[in-house]
Structure 1
């Protein structure tokens, strides 16, 4: 069973609303508290002109701090009733994909794993439509969510190496830093734009028809930031297919016994795969 990994970036709204979501004591919610509040309720939304429903699972494994939920799609099943002369009947059916959200604020937190199931269409696409609905809540929520796939930065540098001297354009689109805790020059510049100019996104394109030299410290920092879920990277080279980081999405595989695929086993296997990926990310950072 495959899950796509994506990052949740929470951008604080410039002005608060008197009726925005708050803690029970009236204080402002931090990012983790707000995520837990928002994703603890059922949410109906539209994806590709069709109704969907987000439903949190309150019966998640004991001690599990992540948010376990499902996105469901209602369909009509046409069957024949064996107890009524095999007359045709129509009844509602719900099919769903599994979603696991890590709302915590550690360096690899605020991340989501979305089952890549065709049962409800694209899992990522459904979750993206859910985020659009949350961002459009009235009264406005205290945060805006930016959702980006986590991708493999090695493929970008392989593209650069393969077309050395022929790269004519590189485009970056990233959201403002709020959680990686990095101290690179790129992230520091982005933080300045966030704090002083109140920017939420940076879109930057560098071009040279005679060929760029992208192997710089700043570009490495920018690509690293984007591929960890901070945004997107595109590149063009003479005589070559353009590069797009969103084509190299990161996935995790959950080991599910196809002969005994009950719902608890499926959820526990997905959480185990999520744990493994986060542990590996911590090891890579330490190295």
Structure 2
């Protein structure tokens, strides 16, 4: 059997107006503090719970889950009557809190009955930003399989007429040297923006061959933003549905123990 983990990048963004009581700490320490606690938050009118499990090789192992009602049948003596009972469904999370070339990374075990991983993470991070008194906010974006946007461009029957890229301010080294990263950082430093959105359009088609566009797309696909596009004939592209994953082979009942022994595997860092 195989277990799939979808991969995300965590961006730590400095608040422009932190409270007077906000704790002073570096970005790595803040990620460790936040994800070493227990949380509950609402997602689509359902209460979810985040629970810290352990630390392994500098990585955080945790669970996120919710209560659900399951159907079952009683014993033959009662005619296999249909009954319902509460149960819990939970996914394993693996978090690399360190700032390095492939750090500030989160892996989410995919269990279809739990819900969409990106949507759940967006709700949890929104709750954390509202609940924690800190000088930082946390943003999360899916890491995209590299080259998927340009693969879409090559396979499309008509040119791209609309392209929108939303960047999260850089805080890691995974795209060091990228001019796109430096431009986003300069805008953030000058304006205090928490996100930077660039949109271009031409009803007759855009030139998608420039070096600058490739750097911008590569930067966003690394987990530092999201991409939306549309071609002249109306075909649409979203980076959110081209997410990068890691696969762990073995019994799904042993997922938690497997990631404790080798957290890098779930994060695709092997």
- TM-score class, shorter-chain normalisation, is 0.7 to 0.9
1:8 aligns with one of 7, 10, 16: 10
Please say if residues 228 and 236 of structure 2, whose CA atoms lie closer than 8 Å, have aligned partners that are also in contact.
yes
Counterpart secondary structure, 1:132: helix
Q: State the partner residue of 2:171.
A: 178
Q: What is the rounded CA distance, in whole Å, between the counterparts of 2:18 and 2:116 in structure 1?
A: 34
- Alpha-carbon offset, residue 152 of structure 1: 2.0
- Alpha-carbon offset, residue 103 of structure 1: 0.6
Q: What is the rounded CA distance, in whole Å, between the counterparts of 2:213 and 2:105 in structure 1?
A: 24
Q: State the partner residue of 2:19.
A: 17
Q: State the partner residue of 1:25.
A: none
Counterpart secondary structure, 1:108: coil
Alignment of 1:111-150 (within 5 A): 111-137=105-131, 140-150=133-143
Q: State the partner residue of 1:65.
A: 58
Q: What is the rounded CA distance, in whole Å, between the counterparts of 1:94 and 1:50 in structure 2?
A: 13
RMSD across aligned positions (CA): 2.7
Q: What is the rounded CA distance, in whole Å, between the counterparts of 2:82 and 2:25 in structure 1?
A: 52
TM-score, length-normalised on structure 1? 0.82
Alignment of 1:213-224 (within 5 A): 213-224=207-218
- Alpha-carbon offset, residue 195 of structure 1: 1.2
Aligned residues: 265
Q: State the partner residue of 1:31.
A: 27
Q: Cα gap change, 1:264/1:209 in structure 2, threshold over 3 Å: closer, same or farther?
A: closer
- Residue deviations 1:96-136 (CA, integer Å, cap 9, x gap): 11111111000211110001112322233222211111011
Q: State the partner residue of 2:191.
A: 197
Please say if residues 69 and 86 of structure 2, whose CA atoms lie closer than 8 Å, have aligned partners that are also in contact.
yes
- Residue deviations 1:31-87 (CA, integer Å, cap 9, x gap): 1101111111110111110111100003x5xx52111000121235677898xx999
- Structure with more relative contact order (C-alpha pairs < 8 Å, separation 6 or more): 2
Q: What is the rounded CA distance, in whole Å, between the counterparts of 1:242 and 1:76 in structure 2?
A: 37
Q: Does residue 168 in structure 1 map to residue 161 in structure 2?
A: yes
Could you list the runs of 5+ residues in structure 1 that have no partner in the other structure? 23-27, 280-287
Q: Cα gap change, 1:67/1:169 in structure 2, threshold over 3 Å: closer, same or farther?
A: same
The range that moved more, 89-98 or 4-13, is: 89-98
1:227 aligns with one of 221, 226, 236: 221
Counterpart secondary structure, 2:269: helix
